[in-house]
Amino acid sequence: MRHRAFSDNLFPHTMSVAVQNASHIPFGFPAQVPPRFAETDHVQRCLVQLRSKSQGLEKYIFLNGLKERDPELFYNILLTNMMEIIPILYTPTVGDACTNYSHIWRRPEGLYISIEHKGRIREVLRNWPASTAARIAVVTDGSRILGLGDLGANGLPISIGKLDLYIAGAGIKPSSTVPICLDVGTDTRKYLEDPLYIGVRQSRPKPSEMDAFMEEFMSAMAEVFPQLLVQFEDFSTDNAFKYLDLFRNRYCCFNDDIQGTGAVVLSGFINAARLASAASGLPLTEHRILFLGAGSSGIGVAKQLLSFFTSMGMTVEEAKNRIYTVDSKGLVTADREGLQEHKKFFARTDYQGPPLKKLADIVEYVRPTALLGLSTLRNAFTEDVVKLMASINKRPIIFPLSNPVSLSEVDFEDAIKWTDGSVIFASGSPYKPVEYKGKVYEAGQGNNMYQFPGIGLGAILSRAKHVSDAMVDKAAIALASSLDHEERANDLVYPRLHRIREISGQVALAVIRQAQAEGLDQTIVYRSLCDSDLLDHIRAKMWKPSNVIGRVRL
Ligand SMILES: NC(=O)C1=CN([C@@H]2O[C@H](COP(=O)(O)OP(=O)(O)OC[C@H]3O[C@@H](n4cnc5c(N)ncnc54)[C@H](OP(=O)(O)O)[C@@H]3O)[C@@H](O)[C@H]2O)C=CC1
Ligand SMILES: CC(=O)C(=O)O
Ligand SMILES: [Mg+2]
């Protein structure tokens, strides 16, 4: 009965078996590959097919089909062509896949837990095959997908994309990943009115109903998936903070937008500050950091910076004093009426004038050394703002971190031009290199994809009971320290993407060591290993697709 009722939730995105699609072949007749197929390069063929598509969304659909037909070939191609493929499976193209998901949907590829399942969530989860193998779930409720707003049940591709990065970037075994979208409704009228919309056709529940749903969901997850780490992804601000606080000490979980982003931006900031200091002599602790955006990611990053500054010997007050936040109403000040809870800690108490609303005026007042954008506001870092930053700083740190690229606060080429090449730049979504006055500049990608795979791998291997703040702190420091000689010589603030597995290994090592220091680890045997042996062990644990060159699955 249970299986009949929920059988359409059963298909994991990574476990589809490649089956011959023999519409012209009589049933039961063994399909044949063409005679000389084995002499040709099938990987190359797939890449040619991929590259023949002009639109990102077509490429996404093609890769999705390839994953269904032959997962090993898909992951092989992903691992060997990360720079080309990650921007399709992840930001920016995954944003298009999400906004259009109801229209491009082809097959079940994740788990939908609907508000209509309330009271029987356990039963739905139990339908997932091999639940004891599950190690990592990325869970979204679709309420704030990238900077694209409330996409409801269309949010599933973000969970799938993040898990593909776990697989490619940290060697997590595909069969141990669980992409989940909580289908609790949407407040986006366009979707509610779309006849093809795949989610429940209702507005989002009131907070008390959502809280009860989340309680049941998390308790069912812990029961059905006894060894699972849960990554909360793209929940709207209030719920992102609320559910992290509510569950972090009860289950093994973390919030990627708050903690993963906090860690990745801290790491990039440490390396950027080193470059800025080489030009100006400014000590790390003298920076003034201005955030455009005071939501889950903005405040998450601010907290991570505060934690770092205090670890450098500053008091909490001194550290807080280096940080300024700006929201849609302007500079966030403590005297503002009705200020949301998550904004209070960093609200300024030292500004007494009339409300400061224009970013240029705020930059003039704060004179920041670093300007970070987590606002979803396209082109918010205007020419006058960027030029002002360059007039204040020899090497201004400017990180437009909003995703996808269509929401970036400033394009790379403009930032280079307006600062005459002095900018230290990292963006949430990738930018191509820019040539300016005969020199080629490379953009860093300040995206939590550099952290969550390693944090997850470390937590999974150590069988951590919880993900502590200190584990996230250590992950950020490990990433900051991971630049190699060539990357440093080229003034990069993040390592190159093709090294992501190596980086994730180092991040995982740092996470495991911190879990051990706090007694949160449950893989006691790791304690006796020295760092290099543990790193070798971590690398050996990474899943790799088999070599599929010249082979086809039937
Ligand atoms: N690079 C990375 O790794 C990551 C990037 N992000 C990106 O960051 C962006 C924000 O995410 P998140 O923090 O979760 O979103 P939120 O919705 O929680 O926060 C957005 C913030 O931006 C502010 N804002 C919106 N419009 C304006 C405006 N016109 N002027 C000034 N401030 C404005 C909002 O103000 P108010 O509070 O007044 O509404 C809010 O404080 C997204 O694009 C997301 O993709 C997120 C996580 C990771
Ligand atoms: C990168 C990411 O997590 C976001 O933009 O929400
Ligand atoms: Mg996110």
Is 456 in contact with 512 (CB distance < 8 Å)?
A: no
Residue with CA at minimum distance from ligand 1 atom 6: 402
Is 124 in contact with 225 (CB distance < 8 Å)?
A: no
Identify the three-state secondary structure at position 333: strand
- pLDDT tens digit sequence for 411-437: 999 999 999 999 999 999 999 999 999
Residue 11: pLDDT band with limits 50, 70, 90:
very low
- pLDDT tens digit sequence for 227-254: 999 999 999 999 999 999 999 999 999 9
Lining ligand 2 with CB less than 6 A are 91, 146, 234, 256-257, 403, 428, 447-448
**Distance, CA 403 to ligand 2 centroid (Å)?**
6
Q: Supply the pLDDT for residue 188.
A: 98
pTM of the model: 0.94
> Is the ipTM here above 0.95?
yes
**Distance, CA 358 to ligand 3 centroid (Å)?**
27
**Distance, CA 425 to ligand 1 centroid (Å)?**
18
**Distance, CA 233 to ligand 2 centroid (Å)?**
8
pLDDT at residue 552 is higher than 80: no
Kindly give the number of the ligand 2 atom that is closest to the alpha carbon of 256: 3
**Which of 14-18, 103-107, 118-122, 488-492 has the least mean pLDDT?**
14-18
Residue 27: pLDDT band with limits 50, 70, 90:
confident
- pLDDT tens digit sequence for 32-85: 788 899 899 999 999 999 999 999 999 999 999 999 999 999 999 999 999 999
**Distance, CA 261 to ligand 1 centroid (Å)?**
12
Q: Which of 60, 75, 112, 162 is catalytic?
A: 162
Residue 547: pLDDT band with limits 50, 70, 90:
confident
Identify the three-state secondary structure at position 139: strand
**What is the average per-residue pLDDT within 530-553?**
84
Closest alpha carbon to 62 in 101, 23, 38, 88 = 88
Q: Supply the pLDDT for residue 6.
A: 34
Q: Supply the pLDDT for residue 141.
A: 98
Kindly give the number of the ligand 2 atom that is closest to the alpha carbon of 147: 5
**What is the average per-residue pLDDT within 309-316?**
96
Residue with CA at minimum distance from ligand 2 atom 5: 146
Residue with CA at minimum distance from ligand 2 atom 4: 146
- pLDDT tens digit sequence for 355-364: 999 999 999 9
Tokens of 231: 């990554």
β 330-331/323-327 pair status: antiparallel
**What is the average per-residue pLDDT within 106-126?**
97
Is 385 in contact with 360 (CB distance < 8 Å)?
A: yes
* 238, 374, 455, best to mutate for ligand 1 pocket (most atoms within 8 Å of CB): 374
**What is the average per-residue pLDDT within 277-299?**
96
Residue with CA at minimum distance from ligand 2 atom 6: 146
Kindly give the number of the ligand 2 atom that is closest to the alpha carbon of 144: 6
Kindly give the number of the ligand 1 atom that is closest to the alpha carbon of 429: 1
Dihedral angle computed from the Cα positions of residues 32, 34, 37 and 39, in that order, rounded to the nearest 10 degrees: 120
Angle formed at CA 110 by CA 104 and CA 114, multiple of 5 degrees: 95
Kindly give the number of the ligand 2 atom that is closest to the alpha carbon of 447: 1
- pLDDT tens digit sequence for 132-171: 899 999 999 999 999 999 999 999 999 999 999 999 999 9
Is 85 in contact with 77 (CB distance < 8 Å)?
A: yes
**What is the average per-residue pLDDT within 324-351?**
97
pLDDT at residue 30 is higher than 80: no
Catalytic residue flag (residue 90): yes
Lining ligand 1 with CB less than 6 A are 144, 146-147, 237, 257, 261, 264, 292-298, 326-329, 374-377, 401-403, 407, 428, 446-448
C-alpha distance from residue 372 to each of 195, 325, 378, 411 (Å) = 39, 10, 13, 13
What does the alpha-carbon distance between residue 232 and residue 230 come to, in Å, rounded to a whole number? 6
Alpha-helical runs (H) found in 284-392: 296-311, 316-321, 341-344, 359-366, 383-392
- pLDDT tens digit sequence for 80-90: 999 999 999 99
**Distance, CA 70 to ligand 1 centroid (Å)?**
37
Residue with CA at minimum distance from ligand 1 atom 5: 402
Closest alpha carbon to 21 in 107, 79, 97, 103 = 107
In whole angstroms, what separates CA 194 from the centre of its chain?
A: 28
Residue 341: how many other CB atoms lie within 10 Å: 9
Closest alpha carbon to 186 in 237, 216, 142, 238 = 142
Give me the amino acid identity at 512: I
**Distance, CA 169 to ligand 2 centroid (Å)?**
16
Kindly give the number of the ligand 2 atom that is closest to the alpha carbon of 448: 1
Q: What is the CA radius of gyration of the chain?
A: 24
Percent of the chain surpassing pLDDT 90: 90
Residue 18: pLDDT band with limits 50, 70, 90:
very low
What does the alpha-carbon distance between residue 182 and residue 413 come to, in Å, rounded to a whole number? 38
Omega before residue 92 within 30° of 0, cis = yes
Q: Which of 60, 75, 90, 431 is catalytic?
A: 90
What does the alpha-carbon distance between residue 265 and residue 493 come to, in Å, rounded to a whole number? 10
* 141, 244, 403, 409, best to mutate for ligand 1 pocket (most atoms within 8 Å of CB): 403
Closest alpha carbon to 399 in 431, 370, 366, 442 = 370
